[in-house]
């Protein structure tokens, strides 16, 4: 039986699964279209907060995949929701290390953004992946956290795949802030439960609207839903904890030889997303 026939919904990581950099993984766009035509619910879950949700949907459309912002959950959106759930959004200030898209998610959650040296007085410090990260930002974040600000990170990914090799990820920047302050950040992105709860609820709603199966009792997701990713530590471990089926693709960060040491092995392994067909 094909994996596509075993599941009603698929939660797909983006980097390493659907594309690497700006190039599609061979066969992935066509596979997603085939899944959608077969009535499967497809949702995208990414630990990359450098774009807005609409920005990722637009990128998918450029690759030939029908998608809109409601189909995408970013770690930035999850972090904003987490801060809001913790009661630290409306009326509070934030210093953001990260992209314009990440800052927009924080502003959308009701946080007032502080910039430059004024960030030292922020109530919340948010750290995301950021190519322009520098010492001044590290200094400001350090002073804010040591002054009492709550520290949040979008994820702990050490690297992410790019055509010329791995690039440093959010986890590398977050580690610097944590080491400087001696504090541990609250993280909302993969593999943490918060973002999988968001994704599971979204898939459950979509399946309910189309007459799909009801939730199986776990808050993170409905029955017959698979998490498809290229990272054992983020995608597979997080999906397993959320009670989802897990499918590892070997088109991104993980190689076949890495499976021998996996703490949480995937339920299924395919070379590329096209293997689910």
Question: Which CATH number covers residue 14?
Answer: 3.40.50.1000
Which is catalytic among the residues 8, 15, 197, 230?
15
pLDDT digits (tens, 9 = 90+) for 143-183: 999 999 999 999 999 988 788 888 999 999 999 999 999 99
Residues 127 and 36 grouped into a single domain = no
19 is a domain residue: yes
**Number of domains making up the chain:** 2
Residues 122 and 152 grouped into a single domain = yes
Which is catalytic among the residues 13, 48, 71, 157?
13
Final residue belonging to a domain, choices 151, 166, 187: 187
Residues 145 and 210 grouped into a single domain = no
Please give the pLDDT value at position 222: 45
Please give the pLDDT value at position 162: 83
The yes-or-no answer on residue 13 being catalytic is yes
138 is a domain residue: yes
Residues 195 and 207 grouped into a single domain = yes
Range of the domain at 104: 87-187
Residues 211 and 248 grouped into a single domain = yes
98 is a domain residue: yes
The yes-or-no answer on residue 15 being catalytic is yes
Does the global pTM surpass 0.85? yes
Q: Which residue has the tokens 């050490």?
A: 158
> Which residues does the chain have with pLDDT short of 70?
210-223
67 is a domain residue: no
Please give the pLDDT value at position 275: 97
Final residue belonging to a domain, choices 187, 203, 238: 187
270 is a domain residue: yes
269 is a domain residue: yes
Residues 111 and 159 grouped into a single domain = yes
Cis peptide leading into 148, omega within 30 of 0? no
The tokens of 62 are what? 């450029």
Residues 156 and 196 grouped into a single domain = no
94 is a domain residue: yes
Residues 156 and 230 grouped into a single domain = no
Residues 79, 152 contacting (CB under 8 angstroms) = yes
Please give the pLDDT value at position 221: 43
Cis peptide leading into 191, omega within 30 of 0? yes
Residues 4, 276 contacting (CB under 8 angstroms) = yes
81 is a domain residue: no
Residues 172 and 214 grouped into a single domain = no
Radius of gyration of the chain (CA): 18
Distances (CA, A) of 3 to 7, 23, 35: 7, 25, 11
Please give the pLDDT value at position 218: 37
């Amino acid at each position: 039986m094909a994996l596509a026939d075993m599941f009603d919904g698929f939660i797909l990581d983006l980097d390493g699964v659907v594309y690497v950099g700006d190039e599609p993984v061979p066969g992935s766009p066509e596979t997603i279209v085939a899944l959608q035509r077969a009535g499967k619910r497809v949702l995208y879950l990414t630990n990359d907060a450098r774009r807005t949700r609409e920005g990722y949907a637009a990128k998918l459309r450029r690759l030939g995949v029908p998608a809109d912002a409601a189909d995408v959950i970013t770690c930035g959106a999850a972090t904003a929701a987490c801060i809001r759930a913790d009661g630290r959004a409306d009326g509070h200030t934030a210093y953001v290390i990260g992209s314009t898209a990440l800052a927009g998610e924080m502003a959308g959650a009701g946080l007032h953004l502080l910039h430059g040296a004024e960030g030292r007085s922020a109530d919340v410090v948010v750290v995301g992946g950021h190519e322009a990260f520098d010492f001044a930002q590290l200094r400001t974040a350090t002073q804010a956290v040591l002054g009492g600000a709550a520290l949040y990170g979008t994820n702990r990914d050490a690297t992410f795949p790019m055509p010329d090799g791995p690039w440093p990820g959010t986890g590398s920047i977050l580690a610097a802030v944590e080491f400087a302050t001696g504090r541990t950040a609250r993280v909302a992105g993969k593999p943490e439960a918060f973002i999988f709860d968001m994704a599971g609820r979204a898939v459950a709603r979509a399946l309910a609207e189309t007459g799909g199966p009801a939730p199986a009792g776990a808050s993170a997701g409905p029955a017959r839903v698979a998490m498809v990713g290229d990272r054992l530590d983020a995608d597979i471990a997080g999906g397993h904890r959320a009670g989802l089926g897990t499918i590892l693709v070997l088109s991104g960060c993980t190689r076949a030889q890495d499976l021998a040491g996996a703490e949480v092995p995937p339920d299924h392994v395919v070379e590329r997303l096209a293997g689910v067909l």
